[in-house]
Each structure stands twice: as C-alpha cells, then as structure tokens.
Amino acid sequence: MTLHLAVALDGAGWHPAAWRAEDAQPDRLFTPGYWADLVAEAERGLLDFVTFEDALGLQSSLLNEPDERLDQVRGRLDAVLIASRVAPLTSRIGLVPTTSTTHTEPFHVAIGIASLDHISRGRAGWRPQISARPDQVAHFGRRAPFPPQDYSPDRDPAFRRHVRDLFAEAADVVEVVRRLWDSWEDDAEIRDVATGRFIDRDKLHYIDFQGDRFSVKGPSITPRSPQGQPLVTSLAHDTVPYEFTAQGSDVVYVTPRDREDATAIVERVRAAEAAVGRTEPPLRILADLVVFLDARDAAGRKTRLDDLDGAELESDARIFTGTPGELAALLLGWRDAGLAGFRLRPGALPHDLAAITRGLVPELQAAGAFRTAYDTGDLRGRLGLARPASRYAKAS
C-alpha cells in the first residue's frame, strides 16, 4: 500500500522565524508567484494535495490575544482565493483551503469550494476550522464575547462547554455545505428548447436545514461540481473534534507523538466513528508532522531559527529534524499504526518543501511506498473515495 502525502502551506513555513532563513522569500509572501511556485513544486513531487492555512485574525504568539511582535510573519491572504489563483496553473494536485465555521457563512463557503472544484476540475478540498480566539469575535461583532482559550489539562469547564458548542456549530456548517453541494443533481441542466426550460426544477432541491443556531433554505446557486462532494478534511486532537470529523469529514489530520501514540489515536478515531454512527467510508487518517529536512544538520538549522525567534519551537504536532531518508524510515514505521499517510508541515519555505519533493519522495518511491506518476482521477478518487450520488437524487 502506498502512502498519501500532503503538505500544509502557511506563510514562510511553520517556524515563526522561518522568514529569516537564508533562502526564505519574505518579500514575496503576498504575491501570487510565491504561492504558484510552492504549489508547482508540490505537484512536481506528485503529492496528493496541499492545504492552505487561514484565520480571521492576525497571527500571534499569544493564545488569547494579538501580540505586538514585529519580528514574526503577520498578515494573510484568503486561503480559498489563493487555492483558486493557483488552480489554472496546476493540473493534478489537490487544493485544500481552510475556512472558519464560526464566522463565515456556510452558503458562501459552499459556493466558494464548489467553484474551486469547477475551476480545478475536481481537485478541491476543504478544511473547516472552528475559531475559538476571543479577539476574532470582535472582528465581526455578531456574537457574545468568547471566554479566554484554555487548553491546560485542568481547563476551565466554561471553555470546555464553549469549544463543544463551536464544534456542534461546525458540524451544522459542514452538514449545510454538504447538502448545498448535493442540492443540484448532476443532470439538473437540461436546456429543453421545446418547453423553454434551462433546468429541470425537480432536480434542484431545497435543503431546508433547521439547526439550533441557524437555518438555510437552499438550493445552492452553483451547479454540482466535478467531485460532487469536494474532499472534506479536518484537524483533530481530542474526543470532541474526533467525533466532529467522524460526522462529516473524509480525511482527518491527527498529531501522534510516536508510533504507539499513533496506534492509540487511530483507535480513538475509529471509536469516534462508531460513537457517531458514521455511514461514510472510514476516515482516511493522516498524521501531521512539522519537518526540518537536510542532508546534514537539520537540527542545527532549526536551532538557529529558534535562536532568532528567542524561543524553542512549540507545536501540537511532533517536530522532526533529520535527513529525508530518516523521515522516510519514520513514516514507513508509523504507517502500520493504521495511518493512510501524512500531512507534512514544512518548517521553512521553500527549503523544507523542496526537501520533501526532491529528497523524501524519491526515498519513499524507492521503498515502493509512493506513486511514481499521478493517476487520472480526481482528488476523492486519489484518496480511494467514490463519487457520491446526490442525496436528493431519486434512486432509479
């Protein structure tokens, strides 16, 4: 079985000082060429897909509020639009932007991702993400203030309830988006000159979603896209998010510390699938790793970035430093835990992305664990997922 391999793109890389690395391109972060080059490199490496991080607030080194640091990358472009900008310049690689389930209208998300799927001819994915940060609420002014984030082991029960609510709302958003994607049957456009009808309205459907927090009528304005259902992916670290992702995602990113932990997490994900009565194909589980790759002294490179930043890098995911060969060995070792593959977060861009595509990928190919050419399928097909029929289509 070959591995699935994705790369998570964010700013200058996942190290806060990555923009200060010698081969970094900090003055290009807000230009289309920067993103086009990165995604073209990922496509040359035959990767399954790239994800684009996003948030409706400025990056911060603090958990609950913006900081005043001037020495780290601050500022972002909209992830859906970056994905769309690179779509016509690529032909195989999957494009998976992040959007907020807390602040963004599900209708806008549904038509944006469906449009990306049309533009890319079946390469769109989506990463729904809750926004728990209190400062972001004030950017919209539509909700009561959020409690401070508290991820400590003995966390505040109010924050725990709050997160549970945000995930419940996120589940509603995913459900609405998926229903909107199905709200046009594949053959709804008929162009029947005799009756003057452009569409068959019996093949367009109100979704009539009624939740505790909002309702959405439908149908979408965007016809059903090439994949029918673009690939839904989400990051999860705990029971509530495992259950959220088991309800509505196709792919889950998890953050094991080691192989044993990976086995335990896979069990918890499967338990979450059972707990929510998942009927979709089982989640494809990809493990996230932050990676610094060099033929020599990757650890030294990371340490130099730590020194520039004034602190050792922290992450929810395991931080790997080493050679591409060593990383290949680790990935192959973890694979048997039940992982379908990995999403790698390059520590510094473009350096660690090129090390993945030019160093890691050949190692994995040599081990027979990675493709040597793209197949012809869409992104769902690449992940082994069939194209679903619209839930509203009458069985014929």
Partner 1 sequence: MTKQIHLAAHFPGVNNTTVWSDPASGSQIDFDSFRHLAQTAERGKFDFFFLAEGLRLREAKGRIHDLDVVGRPESLTVLSALAAVTTHLGLAATVNSTFNEPYEVARRLATLDHLSGGRAAWNVVTSFDAFTGENFRRGGFLAEADRYTRAKEFLRTARELWDSWAPDAVAADRESGRFLRPGGVVPFRHRDRHFDIEGLFTTPRGPQGHPVIIQAGDSDEGREFAASSADVIFSRHSKLEEGRAFYRDVKGRLAAHGRRPEDLKILPAVTYVLGDTEAEARERAVEIRRAQVGPQTAIYFLEAVWGRDLSGYDPDGPLPDIEPNLDEGVTKGHAAFRRDRGEVVAKWRALAEEKNLSIRELAIEVSAPQTFIGTPRAVADEIDHFVQTDAADGFIFVPHLTPGGLDDLVDKVVPLLQEKGVFRADYTGPTLRDHLGLSPRTPNRTETPHPTETPNRTEEI
Query: Does 106 sit near partner 1 (CB under 8 A)?
Result: yes
Query: Does 101 sit near partner 1 (CB under 8 A)?
Result: no
Query: Does 214 sit near partner 1 (CB under 8 A)?
Result: yes
Closer by beta carbon to partner 1, 56 or else 289: 56
Count CB neighbours of 296 within 10 A: 8
Q: What letter represents residue 62's amino acid?
A: L
Interface stretch with partner 1, choices 116-124, 256-264, 329-337, 382-390 (CB under 8 A): 116-124
Distances (CA, A) of 266 to 160, 233, 248, 286, 339: 23, 16, 17, 10, 7
Q: How far is the CB of 327 from partner 1 (least distance, A)?
A: 27
Query: Does 348 sit near partner 1 (CB under 8 A)?
Result: no
Q: For the window 302-341, what string marks contact with partner 1 as x by the rule CB under 8 A?
A: ------x---------------------------------
Residue from 15, 76, 318, 351 touching partner 1 (CB under 8 A): that is 76
Q: Which helix (H) or strand (E) element contains residue 380?
A: helix 379-382
Count CB neighbours of 164 within 10 A: 13
Q: How far is the CB of 40 from partner 1 (least distance, A)?
A: 12
| Binding residues for partner 1, total number by CB under 8 A | 78
**8-state DSSP, 181:** H
Query: Does 81 sit near partner 1 (CB under 8 A)?
Result: yes
Closer by beta carbon to partner 1, 203 or else 335: 203
Distances (CA, A) of 329 to 141, 290, 323: 49, 16, 10
Residues with Cβ within 8 Å of residue 276, at least 6 apart in sequence = 243, 246, 247
Query: Does 377 sit near partner 1 (CB under 8 A)?
Result: no
State the Cα–Cα distance between residues 111 and 113, nearest whole angstrom. 6
Interface stretch with partner 1, choices 70-78, 148-156, 252-260, 322-330 (CB under 8 A): 70-78
- Residues between 38 and 57 with contacts to partner 1, criterion CB under 8 A: 55-57
Residue from 38, 50, 114, 331 touching partner 1 (CB under 8 A): that is 114
Q: Are 260 and 336 in contact (CB under 8 A)?
A: no
Query: Does 105 sit near partner 1 (CB under 8 A)?
Result: yes
Which of 285, 282, 280, 279 lies closest to 236, judged by CA?
Answer: 285
Q: How far is the CB of 213 from partner 1 (least distance, A)?
A: 7
State the Cα–Cα distance between residues 377 and 125, nearest whole angstrom. 14
State the Cα–Cα distance between residues 52 and 396, nearest whole angstrom. 39
Closer by beta carbon to partner 1, 213 or else 296: 213
Residue from 6, 38, 47, 82 touching partner 1 (CB under 8 A): that is 82
- Percentages helix, strand, coil for the chain, rounded to the nearest 5? 40, 15, 45
- Residues between 5 and 24 with contacts to partner 1, criterion CB under 8 A: 19-20, 24
Q: For the window 260-279, what string marks contact with partner 1 as x by the rule CB under 8 A?
A: --------------------
Closer by beta carbon to partner 1, 109 or else 236: 109
Q: For the window 117-136, what string marks contact with partner 1 as x by the rule CB under 8 A?
A: -xx-x-------------xx
Residue from 186, 189, 261, 306 touching partner 1 (CB under 8 A): that is 189
State the Cα–Cα distance between residues 256 and 253, nearest whole angstrom. 10
Residue 81 burial (C-beta neighbours within 10 Å; 0-12, 13-18, 19+): middle
Closer by beta carbon to partner 1, 19 or else 242: 19
Residues with Cβ within 8 Å of residue 390, at least 6 apart in sequence = 182, 183, 184, 185, 186, 205, 224, 228
**8-state DSSP, 37:** H
State the Cα–Cα distance between residues 329 and 338, nearest whole angstrom. 16
Interface stretch with partner 1, choices 106-114, 241-249, 294-302, 336-344 (CB under 8 A): 106-114
Q: How far is the CB of 193 from partner 1 (least distance, A)?
A: 5
